[in-house]
Amino acid sequence: MSSSAPSFFGLGPRDRSEHHRVSTPLELLFDLAIVVAIASAGAGLHHAISDAHAAEGILAFAFSFFAIWWAWMNYTWFASAYDSSGTWFRLLTMVIILGALLVAAGVPALFAAKPFYLLWLGFVLMRVAQIMLWLAAALGDPERRTTALRYAFGLVIAQAYWSGLFFWGSPGTTAFTLAFIAGMALELSVPAYAELAANTPWHRHHIIERYGLLNIIVLGESMLASAAAMRRADLQLSLTNPLLHVGISAAVMAFVMWWAYFQREDHLGTQEHRRSFVWGYGHVVLFAAGAATGAGFGVLIDILSQKSKVGLRTGDIAVAVPVALYFAGLWFVRDRFQSSFVTRYALLAGAAAVLGCGLFLPAALELMTVCAVIAVVVRSTSGRNVQHAGRGHD
């Protein structure tokens, strides 16, 4: 159970040893808005690569996905640490959800190198609401008041920076790109600085579940691509139709990536400060790659439908690169800490093999390589139970 908030505006800390802690319906509603935002970013990447603007598209995708993921991450870790049952918390969460929807609506402007009014407005809305949540935590948790105030003050500075960049920056220029990267670094430094005062009481099993749910969301992009390919294939239904092959491949790839992630129950074996930061931040590569995989399959669909300006090899690379990054990211946050040699390096070797196949060999070999890697990993960890997202923990 949540600890009682000392006042309407104050948010008290949650019990870090709480049993059977699972995502709340409000957190799942928040995830629904994140689904829309990630789909918008993935669609932008898909169309940019298909229109032969891969470099610009990758950059816009990186920036937009960072904004989406960072807002999700800040809210998720806060909700894991502080009371989430009060009216004040729910109202502010709904403001953040509205901001996420505005970000989703504004993502296309970023890909078009136009002023991104809606994206900026949505991010401002999310961040202002998050600042208010941290101020409420400062009011309700005297023991960690310094930490909460550092978070709030850091977010104010970061938001002022983004607003200045929005009003005086020129999207599409090198200076804007470098300034955006500097802003990302500023954002990432806020939690590292704030947590030095005192660690927030986030719940380890709850965080693991929340990350697993976001992973399922990004893998949904490949599911959408699978359905789109099969819908196109239905116009000329045949076992030799390459669109049908793409549809099946997209689904199988999503299954394999899911299996790789959820074959282990305990992704974060400790609440040690440094390890949790590496794990929490490192997931951005994995999440972005999962979403980009669906975009890559979208490119293949356009190529086979003769609606693309790029060739089939580009489509294969658009799938191979994010899949390789997904496995490399999973290795970085989880498997490199394993004791077994095979388990420790299987995904890393698989990432290199998938990348090589995508660059130099037919796409079918890429898919077979992925499946072989997962078979090795699963075999080496037989006897472990798969963690189901949404299940409670003791």
Q: Please state the domain count of the chain.
A: 2
Q: How far apart are CA 72 and CA 284, in angstroms?
A: 11
Provide the pLDDT for residue 364. 64
* Dist. CA 203–CA 16, nearest whole Å: 5
pLDDT at residue number 363: 67
Please indicate, yes or no, if residue 282 is contained in any of the structural domains. yes
Query: Does one domain contain both 92 and 184?
Result: yes
144, 234: one domain: no
Residue 314 lies in a domain: yes
Which of 198-207, 308-317, 318-327, 351-360 has the lowest average pLDDT? 351-360
More confident residue, 231 or 2: 231
Confirm whether 17 is domain-assigned. Answer: no
Domain span at residue 225 reads 204-380
| Residues 188 and 220 occupy one common structural domain | no
Q: Are residues 363 and 230 in the same domain?
A: yes
- Say if 293 falls within a structural domain: yes
Q: How far is CA 355 from CA 9, 223, 283, 338, 364, in A?
A: 51, 21, 20, 23, 13
Inform me whether the pLDDT recorded for 127 exceeds 80. yes
Task: Identify whether 58 is part of a domain.
Answer: yes
* Of the residues 169, 194, 219, the one at which a domain ends: 194
- Of the candidates 151, 176, 194, which is a domain's last residue? 194
Same domain, 232 and 306: yes
Is the pTM of the predicted complex or chain greater than 0.85? yes
Assess whether 46 and 169 both reside in one domain: yes
Alpha-carbon torsion (132, 135, 139, 140), positive or negative: positive
Residue 16 lies in a domain: no
pLDDT of 16 strictly over 90: no
* Residue 212, pLDDT score: 94
pLDDT of 365 higher than 80: no
Looking at the structure, tell me whether residues 352 and 251 fall in a common domain.
yes
- 315 in the same domain as 233: yes
The answer to the question of residue 261 being in a domain is: yes
Are 101 and 45 in contact by the 8 Å Cβ rule? The answer is no
Residue 13 per-residue DSSP state: B
- Residue 148 and residue 229 in one domain: no
Q: What is the pLDDT of residue 3?
A: 43
Q: How many C-beta atoms lie closer than 10 Å to residue 339's C-beta?
A: 6
Asked whether residue 11 is assigned to any structural domain, the reply reads: no
Residue after which a domain boundary falls, among 167, 194, 221: 194
Q: Look at residue 115 in the predicted model and tell me its pLDDT.
A: 78
